[in-house]
Structure 1
Amino acid sequence: MAKLYDTTISALGIGKRKSERLDNGGSLIIWNKKRAAGGSKEFYFRKILKEGSEINIKIGSYPSIKLVQARKRANELSSQAAGTDNIKFQLEEEKRLRVAAEQAAIRERARLDNLGTLQQLCEAYRDRMKAEDRSSYAKVFASLERYVLTPYPHLATQKANLITADDIKHILQAMYARDITTTLNRTRGDLHAAFNVGLTYDHDITVQKSNGLCFDISSNPVAKIKKIQRFERVLERNLDTEELRIVWEACCQYMNPVYASLLKVMICTGFHPVELLRLSSTDIVPDERAIYMTKTKSSTPNLILLNKYAWAEIQTRLNEPGATNLLFPSRVSNPKSDAYDRTSVLSNQVAALRSNLPIEPFTPRDIRRTVKTLMGKAGISKTMRDRMQNHTTTDVSGKHYDRYDYLPEKRVAMKTWEQWLAKNVIDPGGIDTNVISGLFNRAQQ
């Protein structure tokens, strides 16, 4: 086997082949195959095995691959073949690993290209809240935009998994320097919740990620920063009986009629103002003189039984024409559909009311606490008070197994509360024992 030269290859006839022996065994073959007019000259590595069989591995076509390149590759294959009994299997395995590595590199490149920013993380948190039917999702996102995304655009466009605890500290320090207190803790809490969403987002099978969005977050940078306890307001104010009587009598004089009605219904039921502000006329159950509330803080629908005083306010609202079917539409300033925004209007109305009253300041939230406290004074058990206000049951039995609606017991408790309100707050000395016509009578039958 003489050494191959370019002149040898050029003179090679169709169907002919020449070979060159390699130092580590095997040969470099040039073969002019009858595949096209004029032939096709191809390089091969050839080795005859001990049992007499042979292997042929194509290197490439001449002149696309030069002779010097083919010789170098043939020597590499010769060296490999000397150390293995199955060079073809080894080459196929190397190819498989190479293809797998290339695919992994492509996936990693795509992952890096699709890594979400802090802006996108906050949006994902907002979307999660919306999917969970949490009505505060818009308010929370607006707060994050105001205190985080808008003032720090360089962080908003930063990959979320590159945000550090120092970045979060910088945001919160700026708020602290501006004497922002409670909202500082709320912003910290919202950011903490957003990063918790990011921790599981990439592997959440319930999220449809058509755009390939991912975050690759392995730890929550907000966890290192604790909330400031002294900024948490401990709300303990509750009105006594005399104060509640003054509020009941004066609210219609100093408040907008819609919000005066809302305040009275709160006193009669102890329900959260946001839950009541979401109600529409379709939520009223006239036959039961009740409200069927589907959106509650505990996410548990609740049938709210009304005493005659609350029912009178509801009837007033139903009989008053309005542009929307909201039970308590906004009649102050510009109409607002968001219940949380309208709660601020209620707070302003209550502030105007209390400025004209000879009692200590209070907020709408204090009414809920007041009702819970005075219901106990009226003789209603804490268990029943919790059920009337739809507070979440935390024990396993109540949370997972007890599906009884407690309506008869609620009717009795509401009757007790109505009588106590009549005697001590609304009409002292003039109790009407015929409470809610028909409603409690059915409970006693």
Structure 2
Amino acid sequence: MATTKTKEDKRITDLQVRNLKGKLSEPADKDQKRGFGTLLFERRSSGIVEAYYRQRVDGGEEKLKIGVYKASPRAAGLTVSQIRGKANEYAAIAAAHGSVKAYIEGQEAAAAAERAERQRLVEIEASRGTFGELFCDYIESRRGKATPGVVKELERLYQKNMLGPHPGIMAMKARDIRSDHILDILNPIWARGAKVQAERMRSFLAAAFTYGLKAENAVGRSSSKSYCLESNPATVVAVEKVSAPATRSLSEAELRQFWETIERTEGVGPIMALLFKFVIATGGQRIFNVCQTTWDHYDLQAGNMRLVHRKGRGGQTMSRPHLVPLTERAIAIVERVKEINGCHLWPWTSFGRQHFVVSSPRHAIADWLQSEHAVIDGKQIPSFSPRDLRRTCAQLMQRHGISDQLSDLLQAHGQTGVANLHYRNNPEAALPEKRRAIELFDRALARVLGEEPVGNVVMLAR
């Protein structure tokens, strides 16, 4: 049944819109009050009827398209009732805010600004680094400052103790890491008995967060990650300090047995065997420092070898040269090595592609300990490591009356500090005292090896 219109009712009917030839309007307000805009229907030349909200603002006219009239049930568009509902909304806006177009544009601008702010916050959140990224960033910061071995060890610890067992913690934002997450990493290390490693791991974690706290304000930093750290969660974690001083040194009988049989041990190559003898003959130099030398580090005419020590916090940036005088015994060993490896860059190498890695001497000693040679008077010689040869030489000097000062000088102990950095920084100036130390040591070694005692050791240095 058609709806009956009262005399005052000026609302447009569906029939009027369907039969519309030109334009037709009504007050947009739901109570048909004037002054809040009009609802306008207009038929286009194409036959489509479009609906607009029309408003007069500051002497001008503003129009907002509401939509297309739905001429049949299957046609697209809006019914008269739906169009009128939208016009009523615009009229209410006009009553409250004036210009509907300006209000809508303001709302859209505010919405766009809100979307942009949300996007900005999303991008900021995405740029904030994870715990894993922080530690890897810290490792990168150590390249060129720490030794390659230290960097490699940091990478190994990250894979073994952090990323492998704790991928979820590594994926967390660094700023969200708390002390309990640090404990989750350290407790398994401690539980498996690696207490010294747990202590070192805590130090590395603390150093990584300290780096992160400062890195964002560093000029020239390569990483674009932001961490927004406010504290260092690793510093509040306490790890019981484990004092594990190494005490193993070879007795004089064990040292002689090792010297006399290492070249005859199956599985130990000739260069590796000579490396052990050379380290002993030079008073117990750090074995890996010796492994890293090239032929350019040896001056057999002058009778010395040049080592570079990078031990300590300074790492690469605080490299310290250490000239080691060579006895006839040491030079004879080097000449044997030169016959085999003189064509390579490094003396201490098996195939010339690289020098011995840090684990090679350890494996060679393990082979010797498992051989028939590691027995004295029917008793197995206790296990020892390559580092213990250095301690053996130091104690040999101590037993044979060589002063601690000469011993330390020869082995480059305690050569740091302000005085050494600024004043005693000429390695050649210390050579006379080192020569005296190596002469006394070689006499002691000759006695241990059962050689005929000699009054003086002739040095080839000029």
TM range (shorter): 0.5 to 0.7
- What amino acid does structure 2 have at the position aligned with 1:219? S
Offset of 1:320 from its aligned partner?
0.4
Structure 2 equivalent of residue 248 of structure 1 = 259
Identity %: 24
- Alignment-derived partner of residue 452 in structure 2: 429
Matched residue of 1:291: which SS? strand
The 5-angstrom pairing of residues 1-12 of structure 1 reads 6=56, 9-10=59-60
Matched, 1:261 2:283: no
Change (3 A) 1:355 1:112: farther
Distance in 2, Cα, partners of 1:132 & 1:219: 25
Code of the residue aligned with 1:282 in structure 2: it is D
Q: 1-side partners of 2:124 and 2:301: how far apart?
A: 58
In structure 1, what is the equivalent of residue 339 of structure 2? 319
Q: Deviations over 1:306-327 (max 9, x none)?
A: 1122222222222204885222
Partner of residue 146, structure 1: 160
Alignment of 1:232-311 (within 5 A): 232-254=243-265, 255-269=268-282, 270-297=284-311, 299-311=319-331
Residue 187 of structure 1 aligns with which residue? Answer: 201
Q: Encode CA deviations 1:16-72: one digit per residue, 9 max, x unaligned.
A: xxxxxxxxxxxxxxxxxxxxxxxxxxxxxxxxxxxxxxxxxxxxxxxxxx8547999
Q: How does 1:221-240 map to 2 (within 5 A)?
A: 221-230=233-242, 232-240=243-251
| Structure 2 contact 129–174 (Cα < 8 Å) conserved | yes
Larger helix fraction of residues: 1
Kindly provide the amino acid, as one letter, of the partner of residue 387 in structure 1: L
Q: Deviations over 1:380-403 (max 9, x none)?
A: 332332222222434432233322
SS of 1:398's equivalent? Answer: helix
Instruction: List aligned pairs for 1:149-188, cutoff 5 A.
Output: 149-188=163-202
Opposite residue 221 of structure 1, the aligned amino acid is: P
What is the aligned partner in structure 2 of residue 32 from structure 1? none
Matched, 1:117 2:115: no
Following superposition of structure 1 onto structure 2, how do residues 3-402 of structure 1 map, counting pairs within 5 Å? Answer: 6=56, 9-10=59-60, 67-68=98-99, 112-136=125-149, 137-205=151-219, 208-230=220-242, 232-254=243-265, 255-269=268-282, 270-297=284-311, 299-321=319-341, 324-330=344-350, 339-352=357-370, 356-358=374-376, 359-402=381-424
Which SS does the other structure have where 1:301 is aligned? strand
- Normalising by structure 1, report the TM-score: 0.68
Does structure 1 conserve the Cα–Cα contact (< 8 Å) formed by 2:179 and 2:234? yes
Closer, same or farther: CA 10–189 of 1 in aligned 2, 3 Å? closer
Letter in 2 for 1:244: L
| In structure 1, distance between residues paired with 2:196 and 2:354 | 24
**Other structure's SS at 2:306 match:** strand
- Which among 407, 410, 414 is matched to residue 434 of structure 2? 410
Letter in 2 for 1:256: G
Equivalent pair of 1:266/1:273 in contact (CA under 8 Å): yes
Give the SS at the match of 2:324: strand
Task: Supply the distance in 2 between the matched residues of 1:193 and 1:112 (Cα, whole angstroms).
Answer: 24
Question: For residues 354 and 267 of structure 1, what CA distance do their matches in structure 2 show?
Answer: 22
Q: Distance in 2 between matches of 1:253 and 1:221?
A: 54
Q: Say if 1:179 and 1:267 are closer, same or farther in 2 by CA, change over 3 A.
A: same
Corresponding residue SS for 2:210: helix
Residue 238 of structure 1: SS of its match in structure 2?
Answer: coil
Q: Cα distance 1:248–1:296, how it changes in 2: closer, same or farther (>3 A)?
A: farther
CA contact (8 A) 2:291 2:355 kept: no
Give the conservation status (yes or no) of the 8 Å contact 1:251–1:260: yes
Per-residue deviation at 1:8? 5.2
The secondary structure found in structure 1 opposite 2:398 is: helix
Q: Distance in 1 between matches of 2:120 and 2:394?
A: 57
C-alpha change, 1:322 and 1:285, in structure 2 (3 Å) is closer
Report how far residue 407 of structure 1 moved. Answer: 1.4
Separation in 2 of the partners of 1:145 and 1:152?
10
Structure 1 stretch displaced more, 406-415 or 109-118: 109-118
RMSD after superposition: 3.7
CA 1:436 to 1:353, structure 2 compared with 1: closer, same or farther past 3 Å? farther
Cα deviations by residue, 1:180-231 (Å, 9 ceiling, x for unpaired)? 44443443333333333323322334xx33442232333332223333445x
Flag the 1:213–1:392 CA change in 2: closer, same or farther, 3 A.
farther
- 1:343–1:360 Cα change, 3 Å: closer
- Closer, same or farther in 2 for the Cα pair 1:158/1:8, shift >3 Å? closer
**Whole-Å separation in 2 of the counterparts to 1:192 and 1:408:** 44
Q: CA deviation at 1:368?
A: 0.9
- Could you say which residue in structure 2 is the equivalent of 1:88? none
Q: 1:412 offset after TM fit, Å?
A: 1.8
Alpha-carbon distance in structure 2 between the residues aligned to 1:234 and 1:252? 30
Give the secondary structure class of the aligned counterpart of 1:294. Answer: strand
Matched residues in 2 for 1:259 and 1:200: separation?
A: 45
Aligned partner of 1:14 in structure 2 is none
Report which stretch shifted further, 242-251 or 140-149: 242-251
CA contact (8 A) 1:6 1:67 kept: no
Once residues 231 and 170 of structure 2 are traced to their aligned partners in structure 1, the CA distance between those partners, rounded to angstroms, is 18
Name the structure 2 match of 1:57: none
Partner-residue secondary structure (3-state), 1:239: coil
Aligned AA (2:248): R
Report which of the two structures shows the higher radius of gyration computed on alpha carbons: 2
Q: Which moved more, 1:299-308 or 1:289-298?
A: 289-298
Alpha-carbon distance in 2 for matches of 1:338, 1:191: 30
Corresponding residue pairs, total: 352
Displacement of 1:427 in angstroms is 4.1
Decide whether the 8 Å contact of 1:350 with 1:364 is kept in 2: no
